[in-house]
Amino acid sequence: MPDPHLHAICRVLSGHPDQVEWASFAPSDWERLGKVAQVHGVAPLLYDTLKTTGWPEQVPGSLRSVLQAAYYRTTARNTVLYQELGRILAALQQAEIPVVVLKGAALACTLYPEIGLRPMVDIDVLVPYQDVERAIQAMRQVGYVYVTASMRAYGLNRKYAHDALLQGGPEGGVFVEIHWRLIGGESDKRSPPIAWFWEQTIPFTISGGLSGISEFQDSPSLQLTPSASLLYQAAHLMFQHRPVWASLIWFYDLHLLITRHADRIEWDELLKQAQAFQWIGVLYRALVETQKCFGTSFPPRFLETLTSSHGFRAYCEVERLFLSKQTSMEVFWGELTNLTWSGRCYLIWSYLFPDPGYMHFRYRPDPSWLLPLCYPYRWLDALRDGIVTITRKVRQH
């Protein structure tokens, strides 16, 4: 881990703050440490950990204030998100729609002792494919509206779309993704059979300070088992974000899943399904990166078993281009090849001219009247990425 600030954060979060040479930190290092922690979503967790284990005497008050503010800000934000999640689950329950709580919303209140330790951007839920329209109608009943044209993709090319983004809650500040698939669509080779994940569910148990939120009482909603959650989180991290863009908090999620549920993870079944979904490589990469960051322990020789499994060598060839160095334009081109012509036209249009709601969600202009400037910024960023891609292709030939 070349970044000394990331290294220091990982040492603290893994329980070894004594392995950090705090005395070597200059004033600029402390400022940088706070920024890195916020960018990677671990500022609240770093605050709580240092508060519990004891602040090194070298830590300046300014850094403590930054981390403390992030903790209280995350607590306030997540309280609102979970209140809205309670309303959403109640609406889906009333419509008799099964629902699985995914990603941060499922982890922040189950893996972490407090909801303020794990920042969330939005709420993700999974519903059966045949119930998507009814789920959206139920969301409308509690004040949510479409943010993007996701459902246009759902109508134009169901094989490509896998979720719909809605907006609602206090001042329209809550975003909800309704998934009917997990990774990509049926035409995408990365997409697994969703039936297995529905089989791998358990009741959504609430902790982390949510017992006082009345909307969660008697909720029949579900969450993934530790095994399924580990496999899905690893695949989502690698496919959707790629390790070079991944936030540290996502690797810490994996670390907590493994350390707190090691006795509940069915490692043989995990290996079997990773092979079936052709996810051997992404599971290996996610676990190795997690181990590098936090020293996470796995069953003896489990990583070696992954590297010797069928499909691992082919994955390494794909990873060389796709996961590590592929530009956004190359990813976009790969997505186009999986679509019909109508889907391609839709994707190009939606890429260049996203709905204003999505632009607010993606770029968060402050003040909001700066939103129109986000479109030229997006186009210039795409142009820059295109130039990088073309230059790379020329050099390769």
Instruction: Indicate whether 96 pLDDT > 90.
Output: yes
The Cα–Cα gap between 108 and 48 comes to 14
Give DSSP secondary structure letters for 263-280.
TT--HHHHHHHHHHTT-H
Give DSSP secondary structure letters for 287-301.
HHHHHHHH----STT
pLDDT number for residue 208: 56
pLDDT number for residue 168: 93
Answer with the residue of higher pLDDT: 216 or 20: 20
Task: Provide mean pLDDT across the span 23-52.
Answer: 94
Match 């939103």 to its residue by tokens: 371
pLDDT number for residue 272: 92
- Give the residue extent of every domain in the chain: 4-73, 328-396
Alpha-helical regions (H) of the chain: 4-13, 27-39, 43-53, 61-94, 103-107, 132-141, 150-156, 194-199, 226-236, 248-260, 267-276, 280-294, 302-307, 312-321, 328-337, 341-352, 356-363, 371-396
Q: How confident is the model at residue 10 (pLDDT cuts 50, 70, 90)?
A: very high
Alpha-helical regions (H) of 213-323: 226-236, 248-260, 267-276, 280-294, 302-307, 312-321
Tell me: the pLDDT tens digits for 243-275? 556 789 999 999 999 999 989 999 999 999 998
Answer with the residue of higher pLDDT: 3 or 126: 126
Q: How confident is the model at residue 290 (pLDDT cuts 50, 70, 90)?
A: very high
Q: Which residues have C-beta within 8 Å of that of residue 161, sequence separation ≥ 6?
A: 150, 151, 153, 154, 185
What is the torsional sign of CA 124, 141, 96, 147? negative
pLDDT number for residue 321: 45
The Cα–Cα gap between 286 and 297 comes to 13
Instruction: Indicate whether 317 pLDDT > 60.
Output: no
* Weakest-pLDDT range from 112-126, 157-171, 312-326, 380-394: 312-326
Instruction: Indicate whether 360 pLDDT > 90.
Output: no
The Cα–Cα gap between 293 and 314 comes to 26
The answer to whether 251 touches 290, Cβ cutoff 8 Å, is: yes
Tell me: the pLDDT tens digits for 131-183? 999 999 999 999 998 775 444 444 444 455 678 889 999 988 899 999 998 87
Which amino acid appears at position 246 of this protein? Answer: A
The Cα–Cα gap between 336 and 330 comes to 10
pLDDT number for residue 190: 47
Instruction: Indicate whether 199 pLDDT > 80.
Output: yes
175: left (phi over 0), alpha (psi -120 to 50) or beta: beta
- The two beta strands, 174-179 and 163-168, are antiparallel
Q: How many CB atoms lie within 10 A of CB 203?
A: 10
Instruction: Indicate whether 390 pLDDT > 60.
Output: yes
pLDDT number for residue 219: 65
The Cα–Cα gap between 283 and 233 comes to 9
Q: How confident is the model at residue 24 (pLDDT cuts 50, 70, 90)?
A: very high
What is the chain's mean pLDDT, rounded? Answer: 83
Q: Which two tokens stand for residue 60?
A: 């300046």
To the nearest 10 degrees (0 to 180), the angle between helices 280-294 and 312-321 is 70
The Cα–Cα gap between 289 and 21 comes to 23
To the nearest 10 degrees (0 to 180), the angle between helices 226-236 and 248-260 is 160
